[in-house]
Chain A
Amino acid sequence: MVDVIAAALLLSGTSLAVIAGIGLHRFPDVFARMHAATKPATLGLVLVLAGAALQVDRPGAVAKLLLVLAFQFITAPVGAHMVGRAAYRAGTELSPDTVVDELADADGSPRRKG
């Protein structure tokens, strides 16, 4: 039973990574690609690490997996936010399909054109 759950967790986590890889090619601009790429950085990794934690048999190994999990939960959103902010401020072009750009309308926008 534990094996079945672990297998399901591992396979769903890795399929999320594949979907992110496809999204990196299919989406039109940096921000849409980040939307695809940052999902497996938290959810996919949670699934894979939980599946691995069910399989390894030493408590120390499980502790290390949980450590990575906690650290990834703290850093992945921060890193993605910093990359997104830097890309926007550096004037990365938005996709023509973008519906609303609220930062461009705000006063004192740091965005440079071009």
Chain B
Amino acid sequence: MTTVTTIALAALAFAGLLCVVRLLRPGSLADRVVALDSLLVVIVSGIAVLAARTKEGIFLDALVIASLLGFVGTVTVARFIERRGA
């Protein structure tokens, strides 16, 4: 199981790197929101994989909070784009 979670964490690190590069590349505000959103999904997946690796649930509170805050942030920036323009 440790091998599998190591591979999974490496894949997630690569995916997170791709999201960060997309975030830093020039683009519209909506582009960056989409990149940040998928970065958050990668982080949440990473915490879940870590929980599977250690078989403990200590990190899962952070998981709940991250997914809650991510939604609030996405909606806020979406409202902002709609008012201000991309």
Contacts and interface: CB of A to CB of B under 8 A. Distances in A.
17 contacts: A10-B8, A13-B45, A18-B11, A20-B15, A21-B42, A30-B28, A33-B31, A48-B8, A52-B51, A65-B51, A72-B44, A78-B75, A83-B77, A86-B86, A90-B84, A92-B28, A92-B86
Contacts, number: 186
A51 to B, nearest CB: 6
Chain A facing B: main interface SS: helix
Interface residues of A, number: 56
Contact of B52 (A44, A51, A72, A75): A51
Interface of A: 3, 6-7, 10-11, 13-15, 17-18, 20-22, 24-25, 30, 33-34, 37-38, 40-41, 44-45, 48-49, 51-52, 54-58, 60-61, 64-65, 67-68, 71-72, 75-76, 78-80, 82-83, 85-87, 89-92, 112
